[in-house]
Amino acid sequence: MSQVFVIDASVGFAWLHPAQATPETEKLLEQVGNGAQVVVPSLWFIEIANSLLVLQRRKKLTADERKSALETLGALNLTVDEESAREAFRKVSELAEKHGLTAYDAVYLELALRRKLPLASRDESLRQAAKHCGLKTL
């Protein structure tokens, strides 16, 4: 059985931008290539698209590079969790308040908690909150 885990946008972005990549994010991408299942909230796509657009506007990448990056991630077999948005006014908001996170980061924490899955993130605050909640971090 292949591994299943939640990733936040920082990991997806690291898969696209060499300056953000780490040995850990490269290992996760390799696992995805070997059949690991990645679960993301629908917010993940918006965060990635916005990050790439900001880089394009700052002239850090071209429009073609942005489109290519979107196609690369779009080709990955991702499982989209639709429940996260419904939890925004309840559990997500509570987790954000309790752990000092943004609501955006708390979405990933809520998803990992609800599905009882490990969480992969480059964000240290989110990683610490996940550990505090008893989640495995990748």
Q: What is the C-alpha to C-alpha distance for residues 37 and 23, in angstroms, rounded to an integer?
A: 19
User: Is the pLDDT score of 37 beyond 70?
Assistant: yes
What domains can you pick out in the chain, each with its CATH number?
4-132 (3.40.50.1010)
Q: How far apart are CA 16 and CA 129, in angstroms?
A: 25
pLDDT band at 43 (very low <50, low <70, confident <90, very high): very high
Does pTM surpass 0.95?
no
Distance CA 108, CA 56 (A): 26
Least confident of 1-5, 54-58, 87-91: 1-5
CB atoms under 10 Å from CB of 70, counted, come to 16
CA distances from 65 to 22, 25, 77, 84 (A): 21, 20, 21, 30
pLDDT digits (tens, 9 = 90+) for 62-100: 999 999 999 999 899 899 998 888 887 889 999 999 999
Is the pLDDT at 28 greater than 60, yes or no?
yes
Q: Band of the pLDDT at 36, cuts 50, 70, 90?
A: very high
How much is the mean pLDDT over the chain? 93
Task: Answer yes or no: are the C-beta atoms of 10 and 44 closer than 8 Å.
Answer: no
